[in-house]
């Protein structure tokens, strides 16, 4: 994916200096070869290895029409969590029957959109959503397939802000008997809903498989208990996503098969033991597909040295195009892109240009001696960069470029100042 020629970092065969000159900075850059490598890995470890499966890309990681078209062509599904993500998918002519609608507080307008478009399934996050969805289905003369997102009550080894499977979570239906089983029975008996089964998601950036295994045990027992109580064979189980990637050398992500094989082996053994037909299994990787495929490119501006304390190297972006460091202390690696193979002897903090003390992109990183006008490349920013971008301080959202071999193409135009004020009256 990366190489260095004449000191300059290249993405595939394209110079980052050329990309900066062509499109300006800040800039989101994606390698299509890396995207395809990750999709191929999901195919090899999951889709081709096991029958009756599908993988839905979690659009929250990077929702663009380009990404929807690529995934449609490669046979993947989409997992959306808002009307905006659904609209983006439909504007790219993505087949609605391969879309899952997730989210903890879907509005009436969003659910109506989902029904009108004919999405493949809706993931119910709270029992109150059952009545709402039934009412909408009756009004629009629709029937929809649903899964229940459960809260498995497990804690993941990740930042607390991205741990989603613990008992005290805003996501999912709790396992309390008096809450869950009446809801399951209602969904099974409903003439508007087709109950498919269960969904869980235990967290993000996971570099161990134990939490998935613990959540799986909860889901399997629910499948068995549902059959015992209601004589209903659960046809579907979604095991979520959250598989970790490498941001820095401190990260040691697992190969996808290290998650998938134990899960699939356990499901197979469990179903054989209890004489249950193995359900259709799906997953929702997002970051795993796009995270390492992207980098961000900035131009270095002010370099401020505070004697005996530190040096701040300022860039022309920051928390408006990458919120993760300020939001939950995410860590990244970076190089001076036009000095990519020069000795890294200068320890600095990389600071953004927002008027916030928390707008520090990377702390205590060693880079080649920086100068005003140099380019800074920050790696593994393909997930939750563009999708979380905002206009704080009235900064514009950067352009997005895809690189394929020696070719490059603009897939999202840079926002202008006129765009920022276009909706203001």
Domain boundaries, the chain: 2-30+292-421, 32-290
68 is catalytic: no
Please list the residues that pair with 77 across neighbouring strands.
56
pTM for this structure? 0.94
Q: 143-157, 160-174, 298-312 — which is least confidently predicted? A: 160-174
Q: What is the pLDDT of residues 282-323, one digit of tens each?
A: 999 999 999 999 999 999 999 999 999 999 999 999 999 999
Of the options 2.60.40.730, 2.40.110.20, 2.40.50.100, 2.40.37.10, the CATH number for the domain spanning 2-30+292-421: 2.40.37.10
pLDDT grade for 157, boundaries at 50, 70 and 90: very low
Cα angle 49, 237, 234; round to 5 = 120
pLDDT grade for 154, boundaries at 50, 70 and 90: low
pLDDT grade for 167, boundaries at 50, 70 and 90: low
Range 32-290 has CATH code 1.20.950.20: no
Q: What does the pLDDT read at residue 205?
A: 83
Q: Mean pLDDT across the stretch 356-379? A: 97
β-pairing, 294-306 with 375-379?
Answer: antiparallel
Q: What does the pLDDT read at residue 91?
A: 98
Q: What is the pLDDT of residues 83-137, one digit of tens each?
A: 999 999 999 999 999 999 999 999 999 999 999 999 999 999 999 999 999 999 9
Q: At residue 222, does pLDDT exceed 90?
A: yes
Q: At residue 163, does pLDDT exceed 60?
A: no
- Contact present, 45 and 257 (Cβ < 8 Å): yes
Closest CA to 256 of 283, 219, 293, 295: 283
Other Cβ atoms within 10 Å of 143 Cβ, number: 12
Q: What does the pLDDT read at residue 391?
A: 98
- Contact present, 293 and 41 (Cβ < 8 Å): no
Burial profile 4-18: b = 16 or more Cβ within 10 angstroms, e = fewer: eeeebbbbbebbbbe
| Beta-carbon contacts of residue 407 (< 8 Å; ≥ 6 apart) | 14
| Beta-carbon contacts of residue 286 (< 8 Å; ≥ 6 apart) | 57, 58, 59, 60, 61, 62, 79, 241, 383
What is the pLDDT of the chain when averaged over all its residues?
A: 94
- Contact present, 159 and 247 (Cβ < 8 Å): no
- Helix then strand then coil, in percent of the chain rounded to 5, is 35, 25, 40
- Contact present, 379 and 332 (Cβ < 8 Å): yes
Q: At residue 394, does pLDDT exceed 90?
A: yes
Please list the residues that pair with 349 across neighbouring strands.
312
Q: At residue 169, does pLDDT exceed 80?
A: no
Q: What is the pLDDT of residues 15-67, one digit of tens each?
A: 999 999 999 999 999 999 999 999 999 999 999 999 999 999 999 999 999 99
First to last CA, the chain: 45
β-pairing, 294-306 with 2-5?
Answer: unpaired
β-pairing, 346-351 with 360-367?
Answer: antiparallel
Give me the percent of the chain exceeding a pLDDT of 70. Answer: 96
Closest CA to 51 of 196, 264, 220: 264
């Amino acid at each position: 994916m990366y190489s260095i020629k004449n000191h300059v970092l290249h993405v595939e065969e394209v110079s980052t200096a050329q990309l900066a000159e062509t499109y300006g900075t800040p800039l989101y850059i994606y390698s299509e070869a890396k995207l395809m490598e990750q999709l191929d890995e999901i195919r090899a470890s999951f889709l081709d290895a096991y029958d009756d499966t599908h993988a839905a890309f979690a659009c929250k990681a990077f929702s663009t029409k380009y990404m929807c078209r690529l995934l449609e062509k490669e046979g993947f599904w989409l997992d959306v969590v808002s009307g905006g993500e659904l609209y983006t998918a439909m504007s790219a002519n993505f087949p609605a029957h391969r879309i899952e609608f997730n989210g903890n507080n879907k509005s009436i307008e969003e659910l109506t959109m989902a029904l009108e478009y004919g999405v493949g399934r809706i993931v119910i996050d709270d029992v109150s959503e059952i009545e709402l969805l039934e009412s909408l289905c009756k009004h629009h003369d629709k029937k929809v397939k649903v899964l229940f997102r459960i809260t498995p009550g497990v804690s993941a080894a990740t930042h607390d802000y991205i741990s989603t499977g613990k008992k005290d979570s805003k996501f999912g239906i709790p396992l309390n008997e008096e809450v869950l089983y009446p809801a399951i029975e209602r969904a099974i008996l409903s003439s508007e809903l087709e109950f498919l089964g269960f969904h869980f998601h235990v967290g993000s950036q996971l570099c161990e498989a134990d939490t998935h295994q613990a959540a799986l045990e909860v889901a399997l027992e629910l499948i068995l208990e549902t059959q015992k109580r209601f004589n209903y064979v659960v046809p579907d189980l979604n095991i979520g996503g959250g598989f970790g990637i490498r941001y820095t050398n401190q990260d040691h992500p697992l190969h996808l098969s290290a998650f998938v094989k134990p899960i699939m082996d356990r499901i197979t053994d469990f179903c054989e033991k209890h004489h249950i037909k193995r359900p259709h299994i799906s997953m929702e990787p997002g970051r795993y597909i796009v995270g390492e495929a992207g980098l961000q490119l900035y131009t270095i501006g002010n370099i401020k040295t505070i004697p005996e304390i530190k040096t701040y190297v300022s860039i022309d972006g920051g928390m408006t195009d990458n919120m993760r460091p300020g939001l939950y202390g995410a860590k990244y690696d970076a190089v001076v892109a036009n000095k990519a193979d020069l000795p890294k002897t200068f320890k600095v903090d990389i600071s953004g240009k927002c008027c916030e003390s928390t707008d520090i992109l990377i702390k205590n990183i060693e880079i080649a001696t920086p100068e005003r006008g140099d380019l800074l490349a920050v790696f593994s920013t393909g997930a939750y960069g563009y999708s979380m971008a905002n206009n704080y301080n009235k900064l514009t959202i950067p352009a997005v470029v895809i690189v394929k071999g020696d070719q490059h193409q603009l897939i999202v135009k840079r926002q202008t100042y006129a765009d920022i004020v276009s909706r203001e009256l």
